[in-house]
Amino acid sequence: MSGYRLSRIFASGLVGAVVSALVLTSASARAQDDEPKGESKSETKSEAKGEAKTDGSVSLSTKGKALSSTTEADSDHAMYVGAFAVGYLGAADIPFVNAASVAYPQNGGVLTMTAEPAVVNAPVIGMRYWLSDLIGIDAGFGLATYSASVTQHYAVLNGQSAGYETDVKTTAPSSLGMLLHAGVPLALHAEKHWVFEVIPEINFGFSSGTRKYEAGFVDPAAQPPILRNDVKLSGMRFDIGARVGTEIHFGFIGVPNLALQAGVGLYLQMLSFKAKGGGNPDPNGATPDTSYSGSSTTISTSVLDSPWSIFTKSVAALYYF
Q: List, run by run, the mean pLDDT of 10-residue segments along the chain (321 residues).
A: 40 43 45 43 39 55 76 90 88 88 76 90 93 95 94 79 79 94 95 94 95 83 84 95 91 91 88 93 85 95 48 66 89
Whole-number pLDDT of residue 20: 45
Integer Cα distance of 140 and 203 in angstroms: 9
Integer Cα distance of 300 and 239 in angstroms: 11
Whole-number pLDDT of residue 92: 80
Whole-number pLDDT of residue 200: 95
Integer Cα distance of 305 and 97 in angstroms: 22
As for how many domains the chain has, the answer is 1
Whole-number pLDDT of residue 27: 46
Whole-number pLDDT of residue 286: 82
The residue segments making up the domain with residue 151 are: 2-320
Whole-number pLDDT of residue 273: 96
Integer Cα distance of 25 and 193 in angstroms: 10
Query: Cβ(293)–Cβ(110) under 8 Å?
Result: no
- pTM, 2 dp: 0.73
Query: Cβ(87)–Cβ(319) under 8 Å?
Result: yes
